[in-house]
Structure 1
Amino acid sequence: MKKVYFKTFGCRTNQFDTQVMMSKLKDYELTDNELSSDIIVVNSCTVTNGADSSVRNYISSMQRKNPDAKVILAGCGSHSKGESLFEDKKVFGVIGHSEKENINAILKNENPFYQIGDLEHIDSTIVEEFVGKSRAFIKIQEGCDFRCSYCIIPAVRGDARSHKEETILEQINKLAANGFGEFILTGTNVGSYGQDHNTSMAKLLKKMSMIRGVRRIRIGSMEPIQIDDEFLELLNEPWMAKHMHIALQHTSDKMLKLMNRRNEFKSDLALFRKIADQGYALGTDYIVGHPGEDEKEWSEAISRVKELPLTHVHAFSYSKRDNTPSATMKPEVRGNIAKERHRELTAIIKAKNFAFRREHTQNLEVLLESGQDGVYQGFDQYFNKVSVTSDEDLTSNWVLLNDVEVSNEGNKAKV
C-alpha cells in the first residue's frame, strides 16, 4: 500500500481541510515520515508572497530529499500559483478546494493532472477523528465577502457560504462520542456563518451546547461588526471559552480606511470593554507597516492599543500580496521600521497578558494536549498556555488548577 504524507501550511481552516483529506484515504497508508512517502500532499497557504515562497521552498526541498515522491499541491496556493507550478513541472498534480473530498480517486492518476474545480463547493464530509489532536476543529463556513485591500483570500476561497447546520451538528455528535470535549469553530470568515441560511452563530452555539460531551467551545476570529446582541447574551454560558479573537487589523481610522476595513476604533473600544467586563481574555490580528502608515498614524495607533483590554495578539509585519490593492499603495514602510513597530506592539500585549494571568490563577480548566517526561502542555479557558508536571500520564485529560506559578515565560503547575 502506498504511503501518503500531508504537509499543512497556514490557518486552522487548512488544518481541518487536511483532516477531511485524511479521512477520505481508503486505499493508502498515512505516514508521518515525508522522506519515505510515495505521495506528498502539500496543503498550501497563499495569504502573502512570503507564504507562497515557503510552499515553493518546501516543494523544492522534497524534490531533492525524496525525488521519487509525487508532490500534489492542494489548498489556497493551488488557485494562485498552481498553474505555474504545474507548468514548470514542480508538482505532479494540482487539486482545488472542491476536489479534496475526491482525493482517494485523484491520487490514483498515473499521469500528471490539474483539477482546480470551483469556488462554490461546500464539504459534506463528516470528520470523526482528528489525527494527533485533543481538540477538534469544526469548519462551519467557507469563503469571505469582505474585500480588505491587502487580502487575496476571497479570490482563492470564494464568497462566504455556510455549511449545513445538520452536517455540523452530526460531526460534533460523532466527535463528542469519540471523546473530544473541546471544539474550535473555524472557517475563512467564521462570523459570517448563517447569513445565507437564515440563522446565526448564536443559534448554532446554543444547539452545539446541548450535545452530550461538549465541554468547551472556542470560536475562530470574528469581525467586530459580526458580534451582535444575540451573541453577547451567550458570554456567560459555562461552555463558552473565556477568550475571544476579534480581528481589528489596526487602530488608526485612517489606516482602517486604507485597508478597506469595516470597523472603526471608537466602536471597537466599546465592544472590547464590554466583553472584557464579562471576564474574557481578548486577542486580535494586527498588521504593522502597511503602506501609508506614517509616524503620525503609528503614534496614534499605538496609544490606542494601550487603551484596549487586549491579552493576545497575532501581529504581522505587512507583506505584499500580488494582485491586491495594497500591493500598489504608496508610500511603503521600510522593513526595519515595520520590524521595530512589530516589536513595540508585541511587547505591550505581552505585558498586558502577564498582568491578566497574574489576576487569573484560580479555577483554570486546562485540556492537556501533549507532553513528555512528566511535563504536559495545554490551554486554559483564557487561551493561555499552561505547563503541568505530573507523575501520571495526563495526555488528553482535563485538569482544574488552583495553584499556578505565573512568570513572563508562561504558567506552570503541579498535580
Structure 2
Amino acid sequence: MIDSSQFETKKAAYYTLGCKLNFAETSAIGKYLQDQGVLRVRRGEKADVCIVNTCSVTELANKKCRSAIRRIKKQHPNAYIIVTGCYAQLNPDDVSKIEGVDLVLGAEQKGNLENYLTFLHQDQSNEVQILSGKSNQIREFSPACSSDDRTRHFLKVQDGCDYYCTYCTIPAARGRSRNGSIASLVEQAKEVARLGGLEIVLTGVNIGDFGRSTGETFLDLIKALDQVEGIARYRISSIEPNLLSDEIIDFCASSKRFAPHFHIPLQSGSDAVLKLMHRRYDTALFRERVEHIKRVMPNCFIGIDVIVGTRGETPEYFEECYEFLKSLPFSALHVFSYSERPGTAALKIPYIVDPREKHRRSERLLSLSESKLEHFMSSATDISHKVLWENASTHDGLMEGYTENYLRCAAPYRKEALGNIELFTPTSFDSEHMLLVDDSARMILSK
C-alpha cells in the first residue's frame, strides 16, 4: 500500500514526443501521480520529477528525444528525470548515457510506475537505473486515456503489433498485439462523458487487430462505443487497409457517432514495393477500400500515409506510386522519408535511394497532396458542418474547431461556444487550410 502523503510536496512535469498513443499514456501516468498527491508543475516552477515519453520511429525522432532531454535538464536542473517510450525500449543504454537521465523504463515497466515511486522520496544518486526487458517480455496492456483536453480525448484500445514490416521497429518497441476488453473501454468512454468530453479518438498501434487478448473484434468494439450516451463523436486514428472491412466502413456510415474520417496507411502505391515491405495487401485492395468509403460517405476525409525513398523503391516504382495516388479520391497525404532503422529486414534490400532523390519525391507527393486537399476543401464550402469549438485561436479574436470530417475552422471568438458543437457554414478557406465562416474571421487572420 502506497502512502501518498509522502508525495504531497512533489511537483512533476510531463513531456510527450511522437504519436497520440504516447500522449494518452503520458496522460495516464500524470493522472496516476496526481492521485498519489504529485502536483503538475506550473509555468515558471521547477519540477521535482520530469517524465519524458519518447518516440523512435526515425533517427530524427531519436535526435529530437536527445535534444528534448538535454533541454529539460536545463529547465529543471534538480529534477529526477525518467525516460520511457519507444526510444527507451529500443535503445536503453544509449538513453542512459544522456546527461541528466536518472531512470530508463521499458515498455512493460511504463505501465507499472507505482513500482518505482520510491525515487520521489529517496536520496538521488548519480547511478542511472535501467529497467527494461526484451520485446517478447512485453505482455501487459496498460489502459490509458488522455484527459488534458476538455473536449477531445485519446482512448488507447490496443497496443503492440504482430506485423513485421521490413522497415519498422514497432514490434520490438511495443511487443505483440494486445488489447483491453470492450467492457473496460466502454467504462472509460462513459467516464469521459461524465467529465464533459465530447470527442474520443481511438488510438493504438494496430487497432484493427483489436481482440487478440480477448477474442473480441474491432467491429464489436465500435458498435459498443456507439451506444455510449454523451459522446458526440468518435474518430478512428489509423487502421490498416486489410483490416478495414466493408462491415466497419458501412457501420461508420450509418453510425450515430463515428465521424466520416479515416486515416489509412498505404506506405507505397507500387505492388512491388509493398511486397518488399511485407505489407499485407496490394494496391487493388487499397483502391477498393477507398472507393467503398467514398460511395457510402461522399464527404469523408481520407488521409493516407506514404513512405518515399524506401530501400528497393526504384524510379519506376516511385512513378507507379505517384500515378496510383493521383488516381485515388483521397483528401491529404502524410509523407514520410524512409529512415534506416538498425535491426530491420529492409537493410538487406540492396537498392538505396539518394537523400536528394528522397527529397524530390517527397516534394512531388506533397504538391499532389496540396492539390487534393484544396479540392476537398472547396467541396466543403457553402454547406453546413457540425463543428466542435475547442479553444481560442492563436489569432486574437478567433476560436478554432474541427468539422466532423476533420477540417479545421475559425470563427469570431464567443466564450459560450467553446466546448459545444454548432452548425457552421464556411464560405471560404485560407492558405493555411482553415475554413472561415465570414469576412470578419479573414480580417482577423490578416492582421
TM-score category (smaller protein): over 0.9
Match of 1:20 in 2: 28
Aligned to 2:281, which of 242, 263, 281?
A: 263
Aligned to 1:405, which of 416, 419, 428?
A: 428
Aligned to 1:282, which of 286, 289, 302?
A: 302
Whether 1:366 and 2:382 are equivalent positions in the alignment is no
Any residues of structure 2 matched to 1:170-209 within 5 Å, and which? 170-209=187-226
Give me the identity figure in percent: 28
Any residues of structure 2 matched to 1:295-310 within 5 Å, and which? 295-310=315-330
Deviation at 1:312, TM superposition (A): 1.8
Structure 1 distance, partners of 2:243, 2:42, is 39
How big is each residue's C-alpha offset from its partner over 1:354-378, in whole Å with a ceiling of 9 and x where there is no partner? 1112112322111122214331122
Any residues of structure 2 matched to 1:145-160 within 5 Å, and which? 145-160=162-177
How big is each residue's C-alpha offset from its partner over 1:189-215, in whole Å with a ceiling of 9 and x where there is no partner? 111012442321111111111111121
How big is each residue's C-alpha offset from its partner over 1:299-334, in whole Å with a ceiling of 9 and x where there is no partner? 111011111111022110111111111234332111
2:392 touches 2:413 (CA, 8 Å); kept in 1?
Answer: no
How big is each residue's C-alpha offset from its partner over 1:240-280, in whole Å with a ceiling of 9 and x where there is no partner? 21110111111001111111111111121121111112222
**Structure 1 residues 170 and 299: alpha-carbon distance in aligned structure 2, compared to 1, 3 A threshold:** same
How big is each residue's C-alpha offset from its partner over 1:164-192, in whole Å with a ceiling of 9 and x where there is no partner? 11110110011111111111100011110
Any residues of structure 2 matched to 1:7-406 within 5 Å, and which? 7-25=15-33, 26-33=36-43, 36-86=46-96, 90-104=100-114, 106-109=116-119, 110=122, 111=125, 112-116=128-132, 118-124=137-143, 127=145, 130-234=147-251, 235-278=253-296, 279=298, 280-361=300-381, 362-372=383-393, 373-406=396-429
CA RMSD of aligned residues (A): 2.0
Deviation at 1:30, TM superposition (A): 0.8
Structure 2 distance, partners of 1:17, 1:152, is 19
1:374 touches 1:393 (CA, 8 Å); kept in 2?
Answer: no
Aligned-partner SS, 1:60 = helix
Relative to structure 2, which stretch is displaced further, 347-356 or 365-374?
Answer: 365-374
How big is each residue's C-alpha offset from its partner over 1:7-58, in whole Å with a ceiling of 9 and x where there is no partner? 1011111011011101110131112548722211110011112111111121
Aligned-partner SS, 1:50 = helix
Aligned-partner SS, 1:63 = helix
Aligned-partner SS, 2:281 = coil
Query: What is the count of residue pairs matched by the alignment?
Result: 413
Aligned-partner SS, 2:50 = strand
Question: Which stretches in structure 2 are left out of the alignment for 5+ residues?
Answer: 1-8, 442-447
**Structure 1 residues 369 and 257: alpha-carbon distance in aligned structure 2, compared to 1, 3 A threshold:** same
Question: Which stretches in structure 1 are left out of the alignment for 5+ residues?
Answer: none
Structure 2 distance, partners of 1:247, 1:371, is 32
Deviation at 1:68, TM superposition (A): 1.7
**Structure 1 residues 391 and 216: alpha-carbon distance in aligned structure 2, compared to 1, 3 A threshold:** closer
Give the aligned residue type for 1:29.
Answer: L
**Structure 1 residues 312 and 77: alpha-carbon distance in aligned structure 2, compared to 1, 3 A threshold:** same
TM-score by length of 2: 0.87
Structure 2 distance, partners of 1:248, 1:101, is 31
Relative to structure 2, which stretch is displaced further, 378-387 or 216-225?
Answer: 378-387
1:24 touches 1:102 (CA, 8 Å); kept in 2?
Answer: no
1:364 touches 1:381 (CA, 8 Å); kept in 2?
Answer: yes
1:141 touches 1:163 (CA, 8 Å); kept in 2?
Answer: yes
Deviation at 1:105, TM superposition (A): 5.2
Deviation at 1:283, TM superposition (A): 0.8
1:5 touches 1:33 (CA, 8 Å); kept in 2?
Answer: no
Relative to structure 2, which stretch is displaced further, 132-141 or 80-89?
Answer: 80-89
